[in-house]
Structure 1
Amino acid sequence: MELFSEDRSAQVVAASFANTLDPRLRQLLAALVRHLHAFAKEVELTEQEWGAAIDFLTRTGQKCDDVRQEFVLLSDVLGISMLVETINHRTGGTSTESTVLGPFHMVESPPRELGDNIALDGKGELCLVTGRVTGTDGEPLAGALVDVWQANENGFYDVQQPDVQPERNLRGLFTADEDGRFWFRTIVPRYYPIPDDGPVGELLAATSRHPNRPAHVHFIATASGYRPVTTHLFVDDSPYLNSDAVFGVKESLIRRFPLIDDPARAAEAGLPNPFRTVHFDIALLRADQKQPTQRNRHDGP
């Protein structure tokens, strides 16, 4: 084996993986080493800087627990979560765009009936959410599962406030009807900061970035024979749409939440009049449908 040198460092280390049985693992490790070594050489990384980086990653791991995943936050604020999500869920403009899962899908959403109110504490501005799950040709996906979760009126998820919010507050797993329709009651989401009292917060402060996310509701839609999608529903007049701390906003996912003054409809939905509402249709790619490539999406040569 060739001995280590500054000029050939990446090649020497990558060669050490030559006997890796899994070809994909061999490819990933070799590419990782190439890019890491190129980075260190480009910036002339000092020993102190590398030590600080190791300390930062160590503290990031130490901040993780059953209700907090600091490494997910780090991936999010560096844009890696969104990049990986986008690479793996290209839509070609035919299906609902995906976005980040986020660090708070940590518990199973309880099954609920269509029309249920997931705001268990009764706090916040009530809102009716309606939608339909279909394939890309508009075919209704009867029995599709729609998993939803969101923060409360103060910008906290239930797992962040176990002594304040009811368990599984603002979470629900709904089964679409025979026409692929779903509907439920919740509250109008509010913008909020991601947790910034750990290493990721230090990174944001050091780079003069704010920790805020625009108001949104999380969705995961699944149906047999179709590819699942993890996505968000964003409020159109929310602050931070153009500076989401985790780069999760896509224009196709922004919706208006109009105020409806209709006593009969309010009574039917079990909401006070007037009330807020939003409609969010979700289109899924078939499982056997070829995913568009980067070249397809940009129509390049």
Structure 2
Amino acid sequence: MTMPNDPAQTWAIAVHGGAGTIERAQLRPEQEAAYRAALTRVVETGAAVLEQGGSALDAVEAAIHLLEEDPLFNSGRGAVFTAEGRIELDASIMDGATLAAGAVAGVTRTRSPLSLARAVMERSPHVMMVGAGADAFSVSQGLEQVEPSYFATQRRWRSLENFLKAHDLPVPAKPGGLDRPDPAKGLAHDEGKHGTVGVVALDTAGNVAAGTSTGGTTGKQWGRVGDSPIIGAGTYASNGACAVSATGSGEYFIRLTVARDIAALVELKGMSLQAAADEVVQNKLTALGGDGGIIAVAPDGQLAWSFNTSGMYRGRASAGGPVSVGIYKDET
């Protein structure tokens, strides 16, 4: 997708809500409608920031806030449970103009893990914080705190119970919060064992940014961390190449440094954004046995997405064009 030539009028945004086994036969019409409406709201929210001259970072944060608050998706409220019956959240963000980046893993009380990742980037000398230290830093920065039960949903608890029983693992005691009404009840679809949300954006100043947020994988053990908070794997942004956010089997994305690899093909080999994305996702990732997908945007306005699963919740918009959302493989 090519953008207008006038840089003063150029902005673009793409979002994803996770990739996995998502097929038409599995989604009822009301479920499909709910996801398309949610993706449209997220794209429109980020696009409004960009259209008003806001920064790519602000657009990424505003859009991911909505995704983290929507229990349809595996991030923030509605995230999956660990094997111990906890919710541990990961997120990262990167500024393509400066290569500044921030990431958090295993946080439990910050309402927006993505905002905490941005605080790490902008208000600390570090790139990544984890666990109790990240939670403490969040409090020190005045970010909104919630009880861990805030993130819990009955649907995700049932998924954990099924996972643990299938693997002959003990089921922990039920946490609080499961009796709270779930606005996504009857609408959410289990996209598989993993799910993530992400946003990439290009602003009218020519800067790109990327952000990713997730609850990880159902039943994860031993403090497992996937690719979402790993700069270069699940998230990367450089004005010299592109911005990328990934979703899928995190261990494979880490091993391939998927996000950075796409950027390197654009920057060093001069490949188009779509060609670079397809080379990494359809060829390298598939050959290694990993599944998932990415969204990406380049400073010249190219937008791309690529995934090797049956579906990926996704949407995009650019200056002067309509909002486009998709779910299934055969949608452009």
TM range (shorter): under 0.3
More helix by share: 2
| TM-score of the pair, normalised by structure 1 | 0.26
Which of 1 and 2 has greater Rg? 1
